Amino acid sequence: MLDKGQTTRQRGEAAEALALAHLQRHGLRLVERNYRLAQGPAAHGGEIDLILRERDGTLVFVEVRSRRSRACGGAAASIGASKQRRLRRAAEHFLLRWPVLPPCRFDVVAIDNGEVTWLRGAFGVD
């Protein structure tokens, strides 16, 4: 559960745990958590909160966003073009270790005031 008394980091970890449990209930399997692509102290290389696999083999890169309310568009609306570019860059780097590329997609799990919404294919891979 997300609690107002938690630090930002604790709230983020709780949101990721909630999202992971939700996705696992729907049959996805965890591949990796908090995959980071560092590009120096001042550059934002990108981080993928959760990487999971569907039963059909699709690799799913998941961004988890949490907000206490839906004001200003809510959690899902907070993922702009620059964040999407960083996620794609991190996913490309992650995929370098795969000899054969599986089908992939980017999902978002938005948590607004404790309510979980799973947005499959939230933005394109291109």
- The domain ranges of the chain are 8-123
Tokens in use for 18?
A: 């909630």
Of residues 77 and 65, more confidence is placed in: 65
pTM of the complete model beyond 0.75: yes
Please compute the mean of the pLDDT values over residues 68-86 and round it to a whole number: 75
Of 33-47, 78-92, 107-121, least confident by mean pLDDT is 33-47
pLDDT for 126 equals: 67
Q: 103 Cβ partners below 8 Å, 6+ apart?
A: 56, 57, 58, 59
Q: Are 19 and 116 in contact (CB under 8 A)?
A: yes
CA atoms within 13 A of residue 113's CA, in its CB half-sphere: 5
CA atoms within 13 A of residue 67's CA, in its CB half-sphere: 14
CA–CA dist 51, 33 (Å, integer)? 6
CA–CA dist 99, 103 (Å, integer)? 13
pLDDT for 71 equals: 59
pLDDT digits (tens, 9 = 90+) for 26-72: 999 999 999 998 766 656 678 999 999 999 999 999 999 987 756 56
Architecture of the domain defined by 8-123? 3-Layer(aba) Sandwich (3.40)
pLDDT for 43 equals: 60
* Percent of the chain whose predicted confidence (pLDDT) is above 70: 84
